[in-house]
């Protein structure tokens, strides 16, 4: 995620809390501890890892002695920390542990004073061998608060500080999991195979809670989006419609109103400073050979925003807590992948351990890191198995391809030059040798933090169609932001609400319903149909998901590349010129040798490849070559 660099308006509650936090009383409570909480709230028998750390939070719990009587479970140790309201219990789990429930008892002076029913669940068959998302997928990114309101009854929920107000661009609008569930058919019929909703966990903040990146409970779906059970139902329904689900997770920070921020287990649970200290957002300092410690520390330890305390993942209790939390969600919900927020901001060593532990449980599961970096070299540093100087291996299968994104923001609009226009795409892809696995890069034209692409290219429908064709036929795992199919526009710097508008028709009583062709304008239907045709064609098409890529240096505003797998061959020609061009096919002989004709995927026309091909102005053609 990205934070705007404009000053933020603070809620009164957060201001008060910060005053207390930064005034030296580092474990100050603003709310009394009434609950008896254990996290993870349950676990599973038969996991790879034979250890389980239980975090117990209750008033003065540290003095109690934990006891378990269940075959296959031993208490290795119990650890008290600075705050007496916490107890960490380390369990050893036998390989042949049977599912079941038991009483986790807490004793004082030889008597049981508290008991918690803990469950070791049965794992779902095949859960360890699930397949994550791959280049065969195209991901639909949506913001749950802004997509569809399937249940107006949960718009305002007791205990939640922010109430709905659709008139505010940065307010809560009432979208929810029920709304997503209702429109899964729309997403899958468009041709998408995966869904990435922005974070769904509780964000009980006084303002701007809608985006989901200030989590206040790592084990609970925000009640305004739905319940944990509804999240499971959404995932089951998505799977039934051929859609994988990617969960958006945040480990760099949490929300200021997180229950453990209110009663910190220990000082180094988060990074603390004498006064509010913000990250310098200089991700370069992590890999910079000459970085000053002060800069690197400020990057890693400074807060993302005033309402987002920076977690210190070096703390072993916290590290275990976060790793187990991810495994818990994977096992519990059946998700197919994780999108990791702000990848370079947490300690990279911790994140490497995290990916290792997740993949030890689920070897074929995939994770994409949001590496918001400008250079190919820095981006590649964060992909699994990329070999660079310092031997770091993030373990992350996929990372966001911001260099290619940057290229697409200019390639279709600026004048052609040696390094400009189409050459921008060429120059980025020509650096793929830096990556261990370029086909696993997450490619996109925009997302929830960026200007809407339609706006970037000056509301130009033809440029939009060319760019979408490029995105869906070059290497990578494409991600498309909701509303792209409706030509939604908006600029990030105006305010984030501008790029996160409600999907028309998602709310009861909306005057326009863009989920249906009748509710869309002609232009919207044109881009919708273009996208649908490409997505449906790309689905299960191994020449795109697995085929090799060969491209030719763009000349005269024309960019040509080929995808090949066995006998299957696809030729993509982008002519961005404002006039028709004639392409001599002899230059491409090494690729089209042996193929006489081609089927044009978007128009259904059959064309001859001998001699010359006529290229319509400002159009991308997708040819399936035929012998």
Binding mask 67-106 for Ca ion (x = CB under 5 A): ----------------------------------------
Interface with Ca ion includes 547 (CB under 5 A)?
A: no
Sheet of 568-575, strand order = 548-555, 558-565, 568-575, 619-626, 597-600, 606-608
Q: Which of residues 110-129 bind Ca ion (CB under 5 A)?
A: none
Name which of 155 and 492 has its Cβ closer to Ca ion. Answer: 155
Name which of 85 and 151 has its Cβ closer to Ca ion. Answer: 151
**Taking phi first (over 0 means left), then psi (-120 to 50 degrees means alpha), and beta for anything else, what does residue 174 get?**
left
Nearest-approach distance from CB 182 to Ca ion, in angstroms: 11
**CA nearest to 218, candidates 246, 247, 180, 176:** 247
Nearest-approach distance from CB 151 to Ca ion, in angstroms: 5
Nearest-approach distance from CB 111 to Ca ion, in angstroms: 47
Question: How far is 421 from 416, CA to CA, in rounded Å?
Answer: 5
**CA nearest to 169, candidates 415, 16, 4, 384:** 4
Stretch that binds Ca ion, among 52-60, 154-162, 434-442, 480-488 (CB under 5 A): 154-162
Stretch that binds Ca ion, among 66-74, 153-161, 320-328, 518-526 (CB under 5 A): 153-161
Is 370 part of the annotated catalytic residue set?
Answer: yes
Nearest-approach distance from CB 150 to Ca ion, in angstroms: 7
Question: How far is 554 from 545, CA to CA, in rounded Å?
Answer: 23
Stretch that binds Ca ion, among 40-48, 155-163, 236-244, 483-491 (CB under 5 A): 155-163
The CA-CA-CA angle for residues 584, 587, 589, to 5°, reads: 110
Q: Which of residues 374-393 bind Ca ion (CB under 5 A)?
A: none
Name which of 177 and 299 has its Cβ closer to Ca ion. Answer: 177
Q: How many residues bind Ca ion (CB under 5 A)?
A: 6
Name which of 151 and 456 has its Cβ closer to Ca ion. Answer: 151
Question: How far is 29 from 260, CA to CA, in rounded Å?
Answer: 10
Stretch that binds Ca ion, among 147-155, 424-432, 458-466, 507-515 (CB under 5 A): 147-155
Interface with Ca ion includes 155 (CB under 5 A)?
A: yes
370, 401, 446, 502: the catalytic one is 370
Interface with Ca ion includes 230 (CB under 5 A)?
A: no
Name which of 198 and 355 has its Cβ closer to Ca ion. Answer: 198
Name which of 156 and 532 has its Cβ closer to Ca ion. Answer: 156
The number of angstroms, rounded, from the C-alpha of 387 to the middle of its chain's C-alpha atoms is 24
Name which of 182 and 397 has its Cβ closer to Ca ion. Answer: 182
341, 432, 485, 502: the catalytic one is 341
Q: What share of the chain is helix, strand, coil (3-state, %, to 5)?
A: 30, 25, 45
DSSP state of 518: G
Interface with Ca ion includes 401 (CB under 5 A)?
A: no
Nearest-approach distance from CB 346 to Ca ion, in angstroms: 32
Nearest-approach distance from CB 147 to Ca ion, in angstroms: 11
Q: Is the dihedral of CA 484, 488, 493, 496 positive or negative?
A: negative
Interface with Ca ion includes 149 (CB under 5 A)?
A: yes
Name which of 223 and 344 has its Cβ closer to Ca ion. Answer: 223
- Asked if 580 and 616 count as a contact pair (C-beta separation under 8 A), the reply is yes
Interface with Ca ion includes 151 (CB under 5 A)?
A: yes
Tell me which H or E stretch contains 184: helix 184-190
Q: Is 197 exposed, middle or buried (0-12, 13-18, 19+ CB in 10 A)?
A: buried
Is 341 part of the annotated catalytic residue set?
Answer: yes
The CA-CA-CA angle for residues 70, 73, 75, to 5°, reads: 110
Stretch that binds Ca ion, among 152-160, 315-323, 418-426, 573-581 (CB under 5 A): 152-160
Question: What are 204's two structure tokens?
Answer: 């009980």
Name which of 148 and 480 has its Cβ closer to Ca ion. Answer: 148
Q: Where are the beta strands (DSSP E) in 122-164?
A: 139-142
Tell me which H or E stretch contains 532: helix 522-538
Question: How far is 448 from 150, CA to CA, in rounded Å?
Answer: 21
Task: State which of residues 11, 62, 78, 154 lies at the interface with Ca ion (CB under 5 A).
Answer: 154
What residues form DSSP beta bridges with 270? 311
**CA nearest to 313, candidates 342, 346, 282:** 346
Interface with Ca ion includes 162 (CB under 5 A)?
A: no
Binding mask 163-182 for Ca ion (x = CB under 5 A): -----------x-x------
Based on its alpha-carbon atoms, the radius of gyration of the chain, rounded to whole angstroms, reads: 26
Binding mask 188-227 for Ca ion (x = CB under 5 A): ----------------------------------------
Query: For residue 228, what are the contacts with CB-CB under 8 A and spacing of at least 6?
Result: 220, 221, 332, 333
Helix, strand or coil for residue 340? Answer: strand
Query: For residue 575, what are the contacts with CB-CB under 8 A and spacing of at least 6?
Result: 557, 558, 581, 583, 615, 616, 617, 618, 619, 620, 621
Stretch that binds Ca ion, among 47-55, 143-151, 279-287, 570-578 (CB under 5 A): 143-151
Nearest-approach distance from CB 233 to Ca ion, in angstroms: 15
| Residues in contact with Ca ion by the rule CB under 5 A | 149, 151, 154-155, 174, 176
Residues with catalytic function? 341, 370
């Amino acid at each position: 995620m990205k934070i705007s660099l404009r000053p933020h308006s603070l809620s009164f509650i957060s201001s008060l809390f910060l005053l207390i936090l930064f005034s030296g009383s580092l474990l100050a409570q603003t709310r009394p501890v009434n609950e008896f909480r254990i996290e993870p709230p349950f676990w599973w028998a038969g996991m790879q890892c034979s250890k389980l750390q239980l975090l117990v939070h209750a008033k003065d719990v540290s003095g109690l002695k934990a006891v378990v009587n269940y075959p296959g479970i031993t208490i290795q140790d119990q650890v008290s920390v600075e705050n007496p309201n916490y107890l960490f219990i380390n369990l050893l789990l036998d390989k042949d542990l049977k599912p079941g429930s038991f009483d986790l008892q807490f004793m004082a002076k030889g008597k049981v004073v508290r008991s918690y029913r803990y469950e070791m669940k049965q794992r779902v068959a095949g859960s360890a061998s699930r397949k994550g998302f791959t280049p065969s997928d195209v991901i639909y990114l949506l913001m749950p608060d802004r997509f569809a309101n399937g249940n107006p009854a949960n718009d305002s929920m007791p205990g939640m500080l922010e109430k709905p107000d659709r008139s505010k661009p940065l307010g809560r609008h009432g979208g929810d999991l029920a709304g997503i569930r209702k429109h899964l058919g729309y997403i899958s019929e468009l041709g998408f195979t995966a869904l990435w909703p922005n974070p769904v966990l509780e964000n009980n903040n006084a303002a701007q809670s809608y985006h989901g990146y200030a989590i206040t409970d790592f084990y609970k779906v925000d009640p305004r989006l739905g319940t944990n059970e509804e999240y499971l139902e959404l995932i089951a329904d998505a799977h039934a419609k051929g859609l994988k689900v990617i969960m958006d997770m945040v480990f760099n920070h949490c929300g200021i109103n997180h229950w453990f921020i209110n009663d910190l287990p220990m000082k180094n649970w988060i990074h603390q400073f004498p006064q509010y200290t913000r990250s310098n957002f200089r991700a370069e300092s992590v890999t910079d050979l000459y970085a000053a410690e002060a800069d690197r520390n400020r990057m890693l330890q400074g807060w993302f925003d005033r309402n987002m305390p920076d977690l210190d993942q070096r703390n072993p209790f916290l590290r275990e807590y976060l790793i187990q939390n991810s495994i818990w969600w994977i096992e519990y919900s059946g998700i197919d992948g994780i999108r990791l927020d702000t990848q370079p901001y947490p300690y990279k060593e911790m994140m490497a351990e995290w990916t290792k532990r997740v993949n030890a449980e689920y070897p074929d599961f995939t994770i994409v890191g949001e590496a918001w970096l400008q250079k190919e070299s820095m981006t590649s540093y964060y992909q699994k198995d990329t070999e660079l100087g310092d031997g770091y291996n993030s373990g992350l299968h996929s990372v966001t391809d911001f260099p290619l994104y940057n290229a697409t923001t200019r390639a279709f609009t600026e004048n052609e030059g040696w390094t400009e226009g189409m050459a921008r795409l060429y120059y980025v892809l020509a650096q793929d040798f830096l990556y261990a696995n370029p086909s696993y890069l997450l490619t996109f034209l925009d997302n929830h933090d960026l200007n809407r692409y339609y706006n970037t290219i000056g509301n130009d429908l033809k440029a939009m169609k060319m760019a979408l064709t490029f995105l869906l036929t070059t290497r990578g795992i494409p991600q498309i932001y909701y509303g792209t199919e409706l030509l939604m526009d908006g600029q990030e710097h105006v305010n984030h609400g501008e790029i996160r508008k409600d999907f028309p028709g998602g709310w009861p009583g909306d005057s326009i319903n863009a989920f249906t062709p009748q509710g869309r304008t002609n232009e919207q239907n044109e881009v919708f149909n273009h996208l649908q045709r490409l997505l449906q064609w790309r689905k299960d098409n191994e020449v795109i998901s697995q085929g090799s890529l060969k491209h030719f240096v763009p000349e005269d505003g024309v960019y040509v590349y080929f995808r090949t797998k066995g006998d299957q061959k696809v030729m993509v020609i982008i002519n961005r010129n404002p006039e028709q061009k004639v392409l001599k096919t002899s230059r491409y002989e090494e690729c089209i040798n042996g193929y006489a004709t081609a089927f044009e995927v978007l128009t259904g026309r059959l064309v001859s490849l001998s001699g010359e091909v006529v290229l319509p102005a400002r159009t991308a053609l997708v040819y399936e070559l035929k012998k």
